[in-house]
Structure 1
Amino acid sequence: MAKLFFRYAAMNAGKSTALLQVAHNYEERGHQVRIFTARLDDRYGSGYVTSRLGPQRVAETFDAQTDFLATFLEAGQLRPGVACVLVDEAQFLSATQVRALHELAHLHGLPAICYGLRTDFRGELFPGSAMLLALADEMDEMKTICECGRKATMNMRLDASMRRVTEGAQVEVGGNARYRAVCGRCFRQG
């Protein structure tokens, strides 16, 4: 039985690396995967899933207009050939897109494995993450550590002087220069 999976973590936990490994495992066994990443995440160029460790791979992009049902179904039936859908930066999915991935898994037998952040720099759920937490059949928290040594569960946005930012738009793409994965204590202490 196919499922919808949500593998979430704070930044720098290896989500993209894990996605690339899953893709490799499927393909090594002769199965085709389709990989998607958020169009707005262009830190390493648009249309790439890139691990901070170095591995990179071309991916299809999604935005608010992406219709996963239209992408994978024809006349209500699953197009043949794809064994799994892998989604990086899944926090940027819409609720409708998560529902579509859930439908693809449960009504059409196409597993969907989504990797993303659970919360933003304010500690609030992203819309895609909220729906994944509601609908995912399996959820796995990937682990990383805070500078203090505790498990990092939060994402802290930083300004140019490396001070915590607590206000602003929910989405501001950036890497290590803009964000730090921290534990709850360090998040609250700022």
Structure 2
Amino acid sequence: MAKLYFYYASMNAGKSTTLLQASFNYRERGLQTMLWTAAIDDRYARGVITSRIGLEAEANAFDAATDLRAAIAAEHAAQPLACVLVDEAQFLTRAQVFALAAVCDELGIPVLAYGLRTDFRAELFEGSRYLLALADTLTEIKAICGCGRKATMNLRVDEAGKAIHEGAQTEIGGNERYIALCRRHFMAALRD
């Protein structure tokens, strides 16, 4: 039985690196994978999964209107897929998470989704909420706070490094906009 996996973490935990390594492992054995990433994340290039350590791969870009099940089924009919891997899975919609579950259950293809669990306000993203609810396997990828504890939170900061408390849930950025912190230091930063 194919499973739906959700690998979640704070920023800078190596989610994209882990995804690219998993895809490489399948492809090295002659098995086909299909990669997806959020169209909204165009920091490097649209439709490219890029890790901070320099690995990258072309991917299909999804937005809220993308019918993932139909696109995956069409690709699977053209060439059998061993696995589907989704980066930036926090940006999936509820319907898309249900579609990925159907890819596992009806098409028999495992789906590995990688993403943030919460935003800068400690609120779940829509995609993460439904992946936490529906995934067969949940795995936390560890990141480290500056104090050495496990980082679980994403602090949004301004140009001066001060915590931002309000704003849109989605604002694309990297180390210049977000800091991965343990809960203790996240809460302290919000009080400052």
- In the alignment, what sits opposite 2:3? 3
- 2: distance between equivalents of 1:166 and 1:140? 28
- 2: distance between equivalents of 1:9 and 1:142? 5
Deviation at 1:73, TM superposition (A): 2.7
- In the alignment, what sits opposite 1:52? 52
2:23 pairs with 1:23:
yes
2:128 pairs with 1:126:
no
- In the alignment, what sits opposite 2:89? 90
- 2: distance between equivalents of 1:86 and 1:72? 11
- In the alignment, what sits opposite 2:177? 178
Deviation at 1:39, TM superposition (A): 0.3
Which structure 1 residue ranges, 5 or more long, are not aligned? Answer: none
- 2: distance between equivalents of 1:8 and 1:59? 19
Amino acid at match of 2:171: E
SS at match of 1:86: strand
After TM superposition, the score normalised by the length of structure 1 is 0.96
Amino acid at match of 1:65: A
Deviations 1:76-117 (A, max 9, x none): xx5241111000000000000000000110122011000000
- In the alignment, what sits opposite 1:67? 67
Deviations 1:165-189 (A, max 9, x none): 0100000000000000000000100
Identity between Structure 1 and Structure 2 (%):
56
- 2: distance between equivalents of 1:108 and 1:81? 10
- 1: distance between equivalents of 2:40 and 2:188? 30
- 1: distance between equivalents of 2:10 and 2:29? 31
SS at match of 2:149: coil
Deviations 1:97-138 (A, max 9, x none): 000000110122011000000000000000000000000000
- 1: distance between equivalents of 2:158 and 2:109? 41
Amino acid at match of 1:156: L
- In the alignment, what sits opposite 2:36? 36
- 2: distance between equivalents of 1:98 and 1:49? 19
- 2: distance between equivalents of 1:72 and 1:142? 26
Once superposed, what is the RMSD of the aligned Cα atoms? 1.2
Amino acid at match of 1:185: R
Question: 4+ residue stretches of structure 1 with deviation over 2 A?
Answer: none
Which structure 2 residue ranges, 5 or more long, are not aligned? Answer: none
Deviation at 1:72, TM superposition (A): 2.4
Amino acid at match of 1:121: F
- In the alignment, what sits opposite 1:160? 159
